[in-house]
Structure 1
Amino acid sequence: MNLDRAVMAFAGVMILISVLLVHFVSPWWLLFTAFIGLNLLQASFTGFCPAAMLFKKFGVRGGSCAFK
């Protein structure tokens, strides 16, 4: 698995978890979903992605995206 796929898989899992939390716990968890979406949007413009930095530290090999 390369870095691009790891970041997309992580974001997808976080969104699914937040949807479950909205359904079973509280609608306030939609703020978490919005945070994930905003982070994905800013990463697409700036290349800065905290999840990518974390995965790099765990030794996930780079992909085609230029994450900083």
Structure 2
Amino acid sequence: MAIFRAKTDSWYVERITTFMAGFFTFTSTILGLITGIKGFFYFTAFIGFMLMFYAITGLCPSSILLHKLGVPSLCDRYCKEEK
């Protein structure tokens, strides 16, 4: 049985994007439960939509923004010796 384990010795675009999605989903859900404001649940739904959009199209706006800000991707960091 194969076990997937992401590299955790540094931060790269894919890892930061996953962390941001989880952090925003968790935070907006907690804030929605505490305050009762429906807007937080709409934000949670938007995050879920964007995760599905990424899975279908392969296009992730937050990853593009992070890469333009200079954060290296997983391949930029670990695949240089293979090129």
Equivalent of residue 20 in structure 1, options 27, 30, 34: 30
Could you list the runs of 4 or more consecutive aligned residues of structure 1 that deviate by over 3 angstroms after TM superposition? none
Helix, strand or coil for the counterpart of 1:61? coil
Which protein shows a greater Rg? 2
How many residues are aligned here? 64
Gaps of 5+ in 2: 1-10, 76-83
* The one of 29, 39, 42 aligned to 2:50: 39
Q: Could you tell me how far 1:26 is from its partner in structure 2?
A: 2.3
| Structure 1: tracts of 5 or more residues without a match | none
Quick one: higher RCO (CA 8 Å, sep 6+), 1 or 2? Answer: 1
Identical-residue share of aligned pairs (%): 31
